[in-house]
Amino acid sequence: MRIDVLTLFPDSFKPFEESIISRAKKKGVLEINIINIRDFTKDKHKKCDDTPFGGGAGMLMSVQPVYDAVKSVLTKNSKVIFPSPSGKIFNHKIAKEYAQEEHLIFICGHYEGIDQRLIELFNAEEVSIGDYVLTGGELPTMVIIDSLSRFVDGVLSEQSLQEESFSNGLLEYPQYTRPQIFEGLKVPEVLLSGNHQEIAKWRKHQALEKTKKVRPDLIKGDKVED
What are the residues binding ligand ADE (CB under 6 A)? 83-85, 128-130, 132-134, 137, 140
Strand stretches in 167-225, DSSP E: 181-182, 185-186
Taking each helix axis from N to C end, the angle separating 138-149 and 19-27, rounded to the nearest 10 degrees, works out to 60
| Nearer residue to ligand ADE within complex by CB, 134 or 191 | 134
| Nearer residue to ligand ADE within complex by CB, 53 or 132 | 132
| Nearer residue to ligand ADE within complex by CB, 111 or 151 | 111
Question: Minimal distance in Å, beta carbon 85 to ligand ADE?
Answer: 4
Euclidean distance between CA atoms 177 and 207, whole angstroms: 18
Euclidean distance between CA atoms 200 and 210, whole angstroms: 15
Question: Minimal distance in Å, beta carbon 128 to ligand ADE?
Answer: 4
Question: Minimal distance in Å, beta carbon 108 to ligand ADE?
Answer: 9
Q: Is the dihedral of CA 131, 136, 142, 145 positive or negative?
A: positive
Question: Minimal distance in Å, beta carbon 168 to ligand ADE?
Answer: 26
* Helix, coil or strand: residue 52: coil
Chain centre to alpha carbon of residue 211: 22
| Nearer residue to ligand ADE within complex by CB, 65 or 113 | 113
Amino acid at 163: E
Contact 103, 79 (CB under 8 A): yes
Question: Minimal distance in Å, beta carbon 211 to ligand ADE?
Answer: 24
DSSP state of 15: G
| Nearer residue to ligand ADE within complex by CB, 135 or 197 | 135
Q: In 3D, which of 157, 128, 108 has the Cα closest to residue 8? A: 108
| Nearer residue to ligand ADE within complex by CB, 139 or 218 | 139
Report whether the peptide linkage leading into residue 216 is cis, meaning its omega lies within 30 degrees of zero. Answer: no
Question: Minimal distance in Å, beta carbon 133 to ligand ADE?
Answer: 5
